[in-house]
Amino acid sequence: MNSKSSRELLCITGSEKNYALDLKWIAEIYADVHISPFPCLPPHYIGMYNYKGQIIPVISLEEADARILIIIRCNDCLFAMAVSKEPFIIDQKDVEEIDSLHPDTMSGLWAEQALYQMEGTLVSLLDIQSSVEKMQSMNEKEF
Amino acid sequence: MSYFDEDAREMLEVYLLETRQLTEQLNNCLMEAEKNNRFAEEDIHGIFRVMHTIKSSSAMMGLTQLSALAHKLEDIFAYYREEIGTIENPEQEIFDLMFLVSDHITAEMERMEAEEYVPSDIKRIEKQAEEYWEQFCCDEQKKEQIVEPQQEDPQKCDYFDGKSGTIVNVIFEQGCRLENVRAFMLIRQIRGLCSDLETYPPDLEHSSESSAFIGEEGLYICFTSDQKTEVLELMEKGLFVNRVILIADEEEPEESTEELIPQESQTKKQQETRETEFLDVKAEKLDKMQNLSCEMVIQMLVLEEALRKNGLEDIREGTARQINLLISEMERTVMEMRMRPVNRIVPKLRRILRDICRDEGKEAELVINCGDIEADKSIVECCSEALMHLIRNAVDHGIESGQVRQDLGKEKKGKIVFQVESTVGELLLTLSDDGCGLDEEKILNKARERELLVKPEAEYTSQEIYELILKPGFTTNETVNAYSGRGVGLDVVNNIMEEIGGHLYIESQAGVGSKFTMVAPLTLSTIESACFRVGAYHFSVPARYVFNFMEYEEKQKQIRQIDGHSYVLYDGKMVPLINLRKVCGLEEEVPEHSIVIYVRGTRREGCLVADAMQEQKRIVVRPLPTLLGSSFRKATGISGCSIMGDGNICAALDLETVIGNFEKEGAHEF
């Protein structure tokens, strides 16, 4: 079904598929930053970042060299998503939602909220709230 | 929409501060009277004054129900004051009633700052007060007699420099407190009716020094108004106004041979000096100051690193060093400002003990041994909450009933000892009881039932068995009562300790008693730390725990494997040797010039293997990101993180946990 909403999304080009984030979760975007190594982090966490005096974990979207950080704030959680390519803004009006019966959980860390089609490619809208809950649950089990 | 109007909202902060102090005073008085089984004359006077003040200030805030309740209690104690003097063997009902009222006021104050605050229903308490009055006090209602101070001759007022108008001297009720605030509120009421108005003291709103003057001399007002009668009537009816003395009326030129501004009296000077020694400061402002000073420490580290990298040694050793010293001094001062005596939590502990003993029909005394030890305000608050749970547990689970104790040959009255000590940078709070102690078998049975055991029962040490009771929801109680049985209390204590970077230790002996020791840092701001590197990772350890550095090569021949754990010889004994490269998941050989750091915490000691020492610095250790979860610290031994001068992020090690994990799992071996 085509969504007629004029909501803007941040689109991220991945190595095999594309992703999108609702702008309401995004605090800032940084490029070429120093990610500090930190011991004993769970899988997919690539280090820590000093964001305006707050130390936040950096989680990779895909397992690739990533130097662009998208700072995400969800409830009381603040973290950075590391991506390799520069993201861009798309309008939700310009994409077509595809009915997806089985949301893709992508390596078990990121939850999917919806699936769109854009210029012949698939764009997975990430469910940040569910992803954060999932990460917290996984970390409780891990440790 | 807020319950309080704009004027009342402005006063709310002051009202809450004053009322909290009054309820604390009330509680202390009641506890003492109950202990002595007697209300002395000064106790009755004290409680009367407290209720009188709460009545008036609550009325000013529009809290009519609370004001009416305080009025009822004021009547009771006015009766005692007038008719009886002291009360020997007072009825338990009066204590129950007064504690109930005190708790209600405390609970209401906690809710008052919320936007959606609505006063709760107090019919039950009012009924209880009424019943008490009917049953125990005189039938004839006694009106409170406020002792009128001696009438003073109206003085010629020299404060208004010959200004014409009506001059009055408003005397407030003795002991009404915050006289400058009362005066300010009165002036607000009459200002609209006056074409001209001046006061002495002039600054009522912001100057606390005015309070002393007004308390002694009264408030002088010079006003001009077409509605003079109404203005005077409003003044007469003002809250806390005792009387209004008319000094001069209209168009009277002042004889100006005398000094226009009075010389400061010796008393006034002394009062001013006393009042400038202390200042009420909102806690959140202290928190903000602490955050700012921590940020300055961090930025100073960054600046020093930048100066070093750019070879600007002159500036680094000169101006930067001076700034660093000033920042350290400021940081120390902020830390001192936040320090509070630990013994401030004692009245609350006594109160909890009193309530729970009463409800459970047990007797116990609280022995306090804390001296003048101080700790950071946040630490004291957290420990206060933890201690409340521990004391509940001590009575509910530990202290036996009087009969049982006597059968066991113990004193009928149980004993709970609260002791506070401080070492370098740490606070040790111990709560011990002489009750029945922890039943290890019962704990193991329950743990088995809940499938919490991770190894054969026979391998569990006593400390490990006791630690099982810290698990969420763990309880050996068959029933739940108002105080315990849900398995929540000790879990809360444990979480509090983890939050502040502290530890909880348990010792117990069946039939003899239990001892809970909380070890907490004295302050949460900056910590003098030894920083070192392991591979690409950076670690820090509080410097007070670091005792020696050695070359790894020298110690290699002194390493032994014992029961699958690595130990190294130090000072004539074998201590745990922890390879931090393995902790980090770096499967590499120990580099040639690695170092061994001997560390000793509160209870454990050991040696850490690291690649290289970096520096010793005062750093700000921040809590770990919430996303990592609450178990990260326990699993890894990393309790926090810091920003270093070079921009790297350093992991703060919790030695007790690191060495404890080593001892439990033996995971870190060569």
Please give the single-letter amino acid code of residue B314: D
CA torsion angle A5 A6 A10 A15 (round to 10): 60
CA atoms of B25 and B102, how far apart (whole Å): 10
Distance to chain B for A67, nearest Cα, Å:
16
Chain A CB contacts of B538 below 8 Å: 36
Give yes or no for a contact between B224 and B195, defined as CB atoms under 8 angstroms apart. Answer: yes
Nearest-10 crossing angle of helices B123-136, B64-79? 20
pLDDT score at B295? 85
Give yes or no for a contact between B344 and B388, defined as CB atoms under 8 angstroms apart. Answer: no
pLDDT score at B549? 92
Closest CB to B629 among A36, A78, A143 = A143
Tokens standing for B610?
A: 């690291």
Q: Which residues pair with A121 in a beta bridge?
A: A118
Chain position carrying tokens 């609550």: B58
CA atoms of B73 and B75, how far apart (whole Å): 5
3-state SS, residue B664 = helix
Give yes or no for a contact between B254 and B160, defined as CB atoms under 8 angstroms apart. Answer: yes
| pLDDT confidence tier of residue A100, bands split at 50, 70 and 90 | low
Interface residue A61 vs chain B (CB under 8 A): no
pTM of the predicted model, to two decimals? 0.66
Q: What is the DSSP letter of B10?
A: H
CA torsion angle A51 A53 A59 A62 (round to 10): 20
Answer whether A36 sits within 8 Å of B648, measured CB to CB: yes
- Chain segment B24-37, per-residue pLDDT in tens: 899 989 998 988 88
- Chain segment A12-46, per-residue pLDDT in tens: 988 878 899 999 999 999 987 889 999 999 888 99
CA atoms of B251 and B190, how far apart (whole Å): 20
3-state SS, residue B467 = helix
Q: Where are the beta strands (DSSP E) in B410-522?
A: 414-423, 426-433, 503-509, 513-521
Answer whether B627 sits within 8 Å of A40, measured CB to CB: no
Give yes or no for a contact between B584 and B534, defined as CB atoms under 8 angstroms apart. Answer: yes
pLDDT score at A102? 59
Q: What is the DSSP letter of B456?
A: -
Give yes or no for a contact between A129 and A113, defined as CB atoms under 8 angstroms apart. Answer: no
- Chain segment B98-147, per-residue pLDDT in tens: 999 999 999 999 899 888 889 988 888 988 888 888 887 655 444 443 33
Closest CB to A139 among B298, B628, B647 = B628
Give yes or no for a contact between B59 and B26, defined as CB atoms under 8 angstroms apart. Answer: no
3-state SS, residue B297 = helix
Answer whether B629 sits within 8 Å of A38, measured CB to CB: no
Give yes or no for a contact between B442 and B405, defined as CB atoms under 8 angstroms apart. Answer: no
Exposed/middle/buried for residue B277 (C-beta within 10 Å: 0-12, 13-18, 19+): exposed
Q: What is the DSSP letter of B625?
A: P
Better-predicted residue by pLDDT, B263 or A10: A10
Closest CB to B629 among A47, A76, A139 = A139
| pLDDT confidence tier of residue A101, bands split at 50, 70 and 90 | low
Closest CB to B622 among A37, A55, A142 = A55
Nearest to A97 by CA among A17, A20, A16: A20
Give yes or no for a contact between B427 and B379, defined as CB atoms under 8 angstroms apart. Answer: yes
Q: By mean pLDDT, which of A53-67, A128-142, B242-256 is the weakest?
A: B242-256
Answer whether A48 sits within 8 Å of B649, measured CB to CB: yes
pLDDT score at B149? 39
From the first residue on, what is the mean pLDDT of each consecutive set of 10 residues in chain B (670 residues)? 76 86 91 88 88 86 88 87 81 90 92 88 88 71 40 54 83 81 85 87 76 87 88 84 84 43 48 58 82 86 89 90 89 85 87 87 91 86 89 90 91 94 85 92 86 80 83 66 61 83 89 92 83 93 92 90 85 91 78 91 90 88 86 88 88 91 60
Domains of chain B by start residue, with CATH:
6-140 (1.20.120.160), 150-265 (3.30.70.1110), 341-521 (3.30.565.10), 526-665 (2.40.50.180)
Fold type of domain A8-142:
OB fold (Dihydrolipoamide Acetyltransferase, E2P) (2.40.50)
CA atoms of B183 and B205, how far apart (whole Å): 9
pLDDT score at B1? 67
Q: Which helix (H) or strand (E) holds A135?
A: helix A128-142
